[in-house]
Chains A and B, each alone.
Chain A
Amino acid sequence: MNDNFPILILLFLVAAVVVLAFLALTVFFGPKRPNPDKGLPFECGTVGVGDARAPFPIKYYLAGIIFAVFDVELAFLYPWAVAFRDLRLVGFVSMMIFLAILAVGLYYAVRRGVFEWK
């Protein structure tokens, strides 16, 4: 096991040298042709038509961001559910506090009108 570590470190060094070399090479030799297409959010190879924001309502990404956060926060429920019996009351109370704080966040989002579709 331990014999492999020098190799690991060597690979680290090789990776670092390669990265630094590429960085330096792009700075010195890379062509710099600023182009409005390169600043677009999606570099798909085709030129975007119109304004990407225009078709969908502004609420959409707000809901999306809120979803991303709450979706991942709830990942904590799975290990809790698996170990529910062993954790007993401490686990239950802790999780309720956690959920209460999340609920405040959700309440704030609702009251600020994130989910109002007009």
Chain B
Amino acid sequence: MYSSTDIIGILPEFLLVITAILVLILDLLDKRGETAGVVPLSLVGFIGAGIVSAFLWDRGGYAFYDMVVADNFTTVFRVLLCFIGAITVLVSPAYLRYRDIRLGEYHPLLIIAVFGMMVMVSAADLLLFFLGVETLSIALYVLACLDRRDSRSTEAALKYLILGAFSTAFLLYGVALLYAVTGFTSYAGIMENLRETTPDPLAVAGIGFLLIGFAFKVAAVPFHFWSPDVYQGAPTPITAFMSVGPKAAAFVALIRVFGIALDGTADVWMDALAIVAALTMTLGNVVALRQQNIKRMLAYSSIAHAGYLLVGIVAGGQRAFAALSFYLVAYALMNLGAFTVAMLVNRRGDGDYQLEDYKGAGFAHPLLGATMAIFMFSLAGIPPTAGFFGKLYLFSAAVEKGYVLLVVIAVLNSALAAYYYLRILGYMYMARPERELKPVPRLGAYTFTLILTSAIILFIGALPAGMLNLLFAALP
């Protein structure tokens, strides 16, 4: 029968699946799909899974024939993913009711998406990782098209599905070729059997395909083109969710697969990845400069951030991975916050998120203005926010490994990016509103989310070393 390590190892995932099923059944009790109970139940599920994950610190290990690894690194990201899920549940209901989206369909899918990400994070085998990716992706395809009245939502979902399936095929082909060379799909097995610096051509092809698959998933140039359209078309809470969650899960897998398992073959992929990182951040920032729609601007900004994060994979080593994890946490907080503000400021009701809407919003809505300032400072990497220390740790780890040129490009990019982040603040505080706009709704859940995320950003910004040490201790 199952051993206790097996059961403990997947307990948080198990709880989420149970919650998803309960929410689904609860939804069936009401034909109109307006059951209010699904929101608190989903919230309880996420918080419960997060607490159980945290409880597994130092208690987990390899489970299910080394398919699952529930080490402390997994724990940290399970907690982060549950947090992202809980925040998404908090900010969703008002938006969903406004756009006429069925709550009872949305919440189970969201929980299953988080479940898929947790599988990605805790996988110790490429097969399980693939299953996690697909669980996440299929749930996200449906979530992206839930806004049935808006044809852009359907368009976004279809683009996401075609390019997502395309990238998955590449990922899978990479897995198949590595399996052909090593005879294993587990990270440990691949690491054992693929140590030469100039491996078999078939292994090189496998690593290349795997890299293409990952690049699609984290929206790295030249495989980024799906993300702005999908971000713009999807319902905004889902955009917030998919700009942070899948990125965090994919980067954890990148650390486990490329940073650790394929570290022996680093010569093969290192240069390619460094070039991809430089291109990603540059293109993301340059194109973000000329965006007039905040969702697209944040999409290109998240492409740029994927570029910064890739620097951590290129640099390699414990310090870089701790810094990368730090940056992922900070990035999740600030992007969730920024999208929450975007949701509130979008007052036109036609699903258009123009930057002009922000003119004068800073004084009219002090809370929105103040928290948006924190999120934008953090995204731009200005002290004393979490985003600044994320960049600092990441770039100093890369310099230590000798990637000076890459870091110079990254720092120049950060300076460029500061322009378009601060432009929003300029609009909020220095411009007059051009016309009368609908009032911003005041809702407790949104206020709570904004205060919570900005407070954590400032808290991490005040005590960055403690956070870094925690992540350092968690590394595999």
Contacts and interface: CB of A to CB of B under 8 A. Distances in A.
B98 interface: no
Given A93-B1, A108-B24, A112-B28, A8 B17 contact: no
A9 B2 contact: no
A11 to B, nearest CB: 11
A107 B25 CA distance: 9
A12 interface: yes
Interface string B23-47: 0110010000000000000000000
A39 interface: no
Contact of A90 (B2, B25, B28): B2
Contacts of A112: 28
B17 A101 contact: yes
A5 B200 contact: yes
Nearest to A90: B1
B437 interface: no
Interface residues of A, number: 15
B462 interface: no
A76 to B, nearest CB: 13
A28 B407 CA distance: 39
A104 interface: yes
Interface in B1-31: 1-2, 17, 21, 24-25, 28
A55 to B, nearest CB: 24
A5 B202 contact: yes
Interface in A89-118: 89-90, 93, 101, 104, 107-108, 111-112
Q: Which 7 A-B pairs have the closest CB atoms?
A: A111-B28, A5-B201, A9-B201, A104-B21, A108-B24, A89-B1, A5-B202
27 contacts: A2-B200, A5-B200, A5-B201, A5-B202, A6-B201, A8-B201, A8-B202, A9-B201, A9-B205, A12-B205, A89-B1, A90-B1, A90-B2, A93-B1, A93-B2, A101-B17, A101-B21, A104-B21, A104-B24, A104-B25, A107-B25, A107-B28, A108-B24, A108-B25, A108-B28, A111-B28, A112-B28
Given A5-B202, A9-B201, A104-B21, 8 more contacts: A5-B200, A6-B201, A8-B201, A89-B1, A90-B1, A101-B21, A104-B24, A108-B25
